[in-house]
Each structure stands twice: as structure tokens, then as C-alpha cells.
Structure 1
Amino acid sequence: MTFDAAEHAARRARLDEAMTDRGLDALLMFAPDSHYWLTGFDTFGFCFFQCLIYANGKAHLLTRSADLRQAQLTSDIEDIRIWTDGRDDPAAMLSDWLRELGIAGRIGVETETHGLTAANGMRLFAALPDLVEASDLVPTLRLTKSPAEIACLRRAGELTDKGYEAALPLIAPGADEGEILAALQGAIFAGGGDFPANPVVIGSGERALLCRSATGRRRLDPQDQLTLEWAGVWRNYHAAAMRTVIIGPPTDRHRQLHDAAREALLACEAALTPGARMRDVFAAHADTLDRHGLSAHRLNACGYAQGARYAPSWMEPQMFHAGADTVIGPDMAFFLHMILMDSDTGTAMTLGRTSLTTAEGAEPLSRLPLELDVG
């Protein structure tokens, strides 16, 4: 297991208190990051029906045979039951198990997760129609990191830098995107890191303006641009970063956008202080870029919380946008990305990194300089 028994006991105590405050007698957990946070259970089999019942300080797992040994090896869950493919109705089994455990009253459930498909959700509510929505409960607790989690995030930040430093020398005219990606991800793996929860974003030419990865690789032209969004990952904890590297002489537009992105990133980090709301940080992003006349080229969000996440996304649910009312506290981690995509001129520019919140303000987990990189 990644964390010791004392760490998990502290997390369960926090969850017990939060459930009491909300009047919940039990919580049905379907989010894989909730399973990992509470018990250490580490798998990717959550695309099938897989529920962790938490009540009275104890965890009970209903899963498939493929995840039995996974749970036994990676978690502290002692009570595990298996539903059989093609024979059992796991929702009905879950309902029966709750009665057997004597669990009644208000039962919360996590629905806002890729760990519960719409089809399985319909089966779940058909069997248990009185469940109470509680998707925000564990993610809110997970926002504040323990010292052990912060150590994981710091290590993830180190791997973020190692990956980029391995890739940057390869970014030059004629370079193959696949080789650049292999160097970046290979350095993270060589450092003991994990797979990221979503694919690394890599795109050049017109694809440098994309915010997502897409299949197919190309070689860089003598005059080109390459956007990378990647994350160092340690024990599933992510520290994402983002850069656009220019191949050949940067255009004036590249320099203008980079200067604006750097100014906006520093303004956002200055606003990333305990007591502020996430919308205040977004306002620093929007105000800075709009002042540069870039309102048409920026996004409607500028980052999100970071932690231990599973596919298909390393994004935590708490995001920086105009309506975000989450209060920032100490010992939280956030990825801030300044993304400028000028489709009029075909110019891409991005700049981003992950920071911890401290009493003194934002502490970047990356030591990479913020200057414009030219390959």
C-alpha cells in the first residue's frame, strides 16, 4: 500500500465526521479515486460495477473476480464479495448486502464519476431508489492534502521536470513527435513514475492549437510550434504542466502571446492564497488576458485541482472558472494553465504548472523557467 495504517485511519475519521454532518448512515462509493484515498485500492477495473460500501468505520467491497487479488494486495479492505459475470445482478446483490449489514436510513452515493456508468446507475437506483446524492463529499475532503500526500505531489513535480528536460533537446526541425513523447514519458517511468490518468497532449503545426491529444504523429517542420501538456505522476498523484515550444525563429505573435501568458500565470499564482475563492483566481486570468486584447483567444477556465486520479482524466472536479465558489485553503494543489489559441493567425501559446498552497501563497512544484523555449 502507498500509505500506512495511520494515514488511512485519519482519512476515515475525516470522512466519518463529514458523513455525520450531512446525516448519512452510509456511503456507496463508485469513484476509483475515492476507493484509493480511503483504502488504497488501486485498479482500473472500475469501468464495471464496483462499489465500496462505507459505514460504521468499515469498508466492504463488491467487485468482480478480476479485482479480488488487486483489492487484497493494494488495499486494507477485508470484506470483499464477488459478483459473477453473466449470472449475477450486482445492484441487487448490493441491496441485499446492505440489508444483511443492517444499513438503513440515509445512504449517500457517488454518481458524478466515470466509475458508475449510466446503465449501472439506472440498475442501482431501481434497486435502491432512496439514495442521497453525495458525489462532492470525498472530493471536498481530498482537496486538503496530508503531509504524506504532499510528499507524493513534490515527487510528481520532480518527475514533471525530468520528463520535459528529457524531451526538450529532441524538439528541433525534423524531429518525430513519437520520439519526443517517448523521451518525455520514458523519463517519468525511469524515475519510478506512473501512467498519467489521461494521454499526454502533444501536437504540432495546426494541431498545436488543440487542447486534447489526437491519434497520429508527424515530424516537425523547420518553422513549427509544438504544444505539450503532461504530468509527472507519483503513486497516482499528478503534477501537470504545459508548454508551447517554438521551432525556428518565434514570430512576433508568439512572443506577444507568451508575454501575456506569463503575466497571467503569475497573476493567478499571486491570487492563489488561502481564503480566496477559485473564481478570484480565474478573474486574475481573464482580466490579464483581456487587458492584452486576448478575450477571443483564451478559454473559459484556467485550471483545476490536482491529486490522485484515474482515467479518463487527471482533472479534479474543482475548476477555476467565473462561477467557481470553492474556497482555497492551505495544503491544496492546483494546476494553472494559460492557454491561448489564435486561430486567426494559426498561433498557439500555452504556459502552465502545478502549485501547492501555503500560508505564504503559491509554491510551484516545477523548477522549470517560464521563458519561451525555442527548439
Structure 2
Amino acid sequence: MALHFERQELANRRARTIEKLEKKGLDGLLMFRQESMFYLTGYDTFGYVFFQCLYLGVDGRVALITRAPDLRQAQHTSDIEDIRIWVDGPNVNPAFQLRDMLAEFGCSGKKLGVEYEAYGLTAANGKKLETALDGFCSLEDASGLVSELRVVKSAAELDYIRKAAELADDAWDAALDTVHAGAFEGDILAAMQGAIFSGGGDYPGNEFIIGAGRDALLCRYFTGRKHIGETDQITLEWAGAYRHYHAAMMRTIPVGKALPRHIEMHKVATDALVACREALRPGEPIGKVFDAYARVCDQAGMQAHRLNACGYSMGTTFAPNWMDWPMFYHGNPVIAEPGMVFFLHMILMDSETGIAMCPGHSVIVTETGNESVSRHSVDLITR
């Protein structure tokens, strides 16, 4: 069995989840987020692209409904003992089999929480779920219940975060060895991801972001690779991933020479990063972190070039993205706590000049502030 945590830690996580369910007056939780399943049981799969539900009752009962390809997956990667298989067919609604299982557990007339905000519960499957359970039990949105527990990491989880950060640093070293005038973006990606795989890491929750020239102003992956020009720039955003725990980084590298606008924007972005780290303290709302980013950028006349958020939580995430809850934006009331992990990205993108500058790295909130998990500085590097 490939469990990445002690069985007692998994049991303790389920016990804390049950406490939250009881406080909310819920009799059980229907989970469709793969992150929740991994966190509470160790179950590791991409089978959530089909209908799949993990049930946790306040009595501690755990049961999984999934497809046949994930039977052995669940047996090998999790501590789930009760695994039910639904069979594919032209008119099959597996939610009815879920209802039958819940009836077996005495859930008729009970109140269950549902992770509606989940990539594993499409709108179509959500309708099937509500159709099957209509009149059987009452449902309440409990999408954030497990996520609120996951946001503060245990000592074992922080070890995985630090390992992910080492791999992210290794990928940055590989990029610095590969980025130069004439370099092919595909070779850069291969070197970065290869460094992470060689270090024992995983695929990340989403693709690495890479773009040279004016594409350096984009912060999403897109298909199509090209070569770097003699005088150019390239923006990279990537994450080390280890046991599905992520530590993201971001940089813009001027190629050939750094233009005056690069230098100016780098100064503003790194000043903003310092201000954000000063604002990220335990006991303070994380909305203050975004306010620090906005204040520094706006005072430097770069309001039009910044974004409306400047980072988010890092943790165990599955495709399609590595962004976790919560995010840094104005007014976010979530209070920072020791053990939280965040990616701070100071993105500046000037569409008029075509210049980008996007330094960023991940940090762990401590008892007094926060610590960077990267061994690299955010100094401006030119290739």
C-alpha cells in the first residue's frame, strides 16, 4: 500500500472533518474533490473525471463509489476498505447506486454536505445527483469544509512542501542553463520538467507557463513553441510538485540585455514582494497582502499593468490547476495562520511597451511572519 502519511494522521484528519460536520449539523459529507479524497484517505487517481464520490459519515464510516479501473487504485493508494463499483452503460446514473449505498448506511431523511465546487462534479453529474437524492435526504453545499482544514499544513505536509520547493529551484537552475538567444522553448520546458522528474517529483496540477517576446505578457499555458530572439524576454511560471504538494515560482528573464523598462518594473515588483511579505503575518487578514502589492504598484504608476490578485495557497492539488484556496485579493477576510503556504506572484505586464516582469516564489507562514522556501533570490537575471 502506497500511503504517504501515517495512518494515524489520516485518521486524525477525518476526526477533525467529523467535528466540523457535527458543528454544521450535517450527518455526512459527499466528496467529489480529489484533493479531499487524497487528504483524508491517501486515495490518488485522475479517475475523478468520471462520477466518483467518497462518503464520510459522522459515525466515521468511509465508502467510495467509483469505476472499475479505480478499484485497485483505491486499494493500493488509500486506507479505504469499502469500495463500490458502478458499471458503465448507455443509460446508467451512478448516483442511484450512491443513493442505495446511503440507504444502507441509514442516511434516509438525513442532512448531507456536498462538495459542489469540484472538478469531479460536473453540472451534468450534479443534476444526476440531485435527481437521485430528491426526497431521500437533504443536501447542503459544503464545498469548503475540507479545504478549510487542508489550508494549514501538518509537519509531514510541510516536509513535502519543502521538497517541492527544492524541485522548483532545480527547475529554475535548469532554465538558467537553457535560456539563451536562439533557444527553443520546448527544450527549456523539457529541461525544467526533467529536473523535477529526476528529483522524484510529480506532474504539476497544470502546465508550466512559458512565453517569449510579447507572449511573456501571458500568464496561461497555450500550445505552440518558438525560438527566443537575440534581444528578447521570456516569462516562466512553474511549480515543483512532490506527493502532489506544490511550490510555485515565477520569473521574467530579459535575453540579450535588460531594457530600462525591465529594470524599472523589476524594482517595483520586488519592492511589492517585500511589502507583501511584511503584510503576510499570522492573525492578519490575507486581503492585506494584496493591498500591499496594489499600493506599491499604484504609487509607482503601474496600476494599469498589475492584476487584481497576487497569489494563492499552495498544497495538494490535482489537474486542471495548482491554485488552491484561498487567494490574495482585496478584502479577503481569511486570517493567516502558521502552517499556511502561499505563492506570491508580483505580476506586471505593460501591453503598451510589450514588457513583462513577474518575480514570485512560495512561502510558509510562521509564528512571526513567513519564510521563503526557495534557495534563490529574486534578483534580475539576464541571459
Q: TM-score range by the shorter chain?
A: over 0.9
Q: CA deviation at 1:13?
A: 1.4
How far does residue 103 in structure 1 lie from its aligned partner after superposition? 2.0
Q: Distance in 2 between matches of 1:206 and 1:370?
A: 22
Cα deviations by residue, 1:29-68 (Å, 9 ceiling, x for unpaired)? 0000000000000000101000001011121000000111
| 1:263 and 2:268 are equivalent in the alignment | no
The equivalent of 2:122 in structure 1 is 117
Residue 187 of structure 1 is aligned with which of 158, 177, 195? 195
**Aligned equivalents of 1:259, 1:126: Cα separation in 2:** 56
- Identity between Structure 1 and Structure 2 (%): 52
What is the alpha-carbon distance in structure 2 between the residues aligned to residue 58 and residue 205 of structure 1? 55
Secondary structure of the residue aligned to 1:318 is strand
Q: What is residue 93 of structure 2 aligned with on the other side?
A: 89
Q: Distance in 2 between matches of 1:141 and 1:323?
A: 21
Question: Aligned residue for 1:103?
Answer: 107
1:7 counterpart letter in structure 2 = E
Q: Does structure 1 conserve the Cα–Cα contact (< 8 Å) formed by 2:286 and 2:328?
A: yes
* 1:74 counterpart = 2:80: no
Q: Give, in angstroms, the shift of residue 80 of structure 1.
A: 0.4
Q: Which residue of 1 aligns with 2:294?
A: 286
Correspondent of 2:370 among 355, 358, 362: 362
Partners of 1:265 and 1:223 lie apart in 2 by: 27
Describe how 1:167-182 pairs up with structure 2 within 5 A: 167-182=175-190
Q: How does 1:88-237 map to 2 (within 5 A)?
A: 88-104=92-108, 105-129=110-134, 130-237=138-245
* Count of aligned positions: 375
Amino acid at match of 2:16: R
Does residue 239 of structure 1 match 2:241? Answer: no
Distance in structure 2 (CA, Å) of the matches to 1:73 and 1:143: 26
1:126 deviation in Å? 1.2
Q: CA deviation at 1:10?
A: 1.2
Check whether the contact 2:151–2:325 (CA below 8 A) recurs between aligned residues.
Answer: no
Deviation of 1:304 after TM superposition, in Å, equals 0.4
Q: Is 65-74 or 88-97 further displaced after alignment?
A: 88-97
Per-residue deviation, residues 137-157 of structure 1 (Å, max 9, x unmatched): 000000110000000001011
Structure 2 gaps, min length 5: none
Residues 178-200 of structure 1, C-alpha deviations (whole Å, 9 max, x = no match): 11111100000000000000000
Separation of aligned partners in 2, 1:270 and 1:161:
23
CA contact (8 A) 2:288 2:331 kept: no
Helix, strand or coil: the match of 2:325? coil
Alignment-derived partner of residue 38 in structure 1: 40
- For normalisation by structure 2, the TM-score amounts to 0.97
Distance 1:110 1:323 in 2: 25
Moved segments of 4+, more than 6 Å: none
How far 1:352 moved relative to its partner?
A: 0.6
CA contact (8 A) 2:164 2:246 kept: yes
SS of 2:182's equivalent in the other structure is coil
Tell me how far apart the structure 2 counterparts of residues 295 and 272 of structure 1 sit (CA, whole Å).
Answer: 21
RMSD after superposition = 0.8
* Cα shift readout 1:81-129 (whole Å, capped 9, x = no counterpart): 0000116321111111101111242100001011111100011111124
Q: Which amino acid aligns with 2:192?
A: L
Query: Which one of the candidate residues 352, 357, 362 is aligned to 1:349?
Result: 357
CA distance in 2, matches of 1:317, 1:29: 16
* Structure 1 runs not aligned, ≥5 long: none
Letter in 1 for 2:119: H
Aligned to 2:21: 19
- Look up the equivalent residue of 1:61 and give its one-letter code: L
Distance 1:264 1:284 in 2: 7
**Cα distance in 1, alignment partners of residues 248 and 60 from structure 2:** 34
Distance 1:89 1:215 in 2: 36
Q: Distance in 1 between matches of 2:332 and 2:133?
A: 32
| Equivalence for 1:336 | 344
Supply the distance in 2 between the matched residues of 1:357 and 1:89 (Cα, whole angstroms). 44
Q: Aligned partners of 1:268, 1:207: CA distance in 2, in Å? A: 26
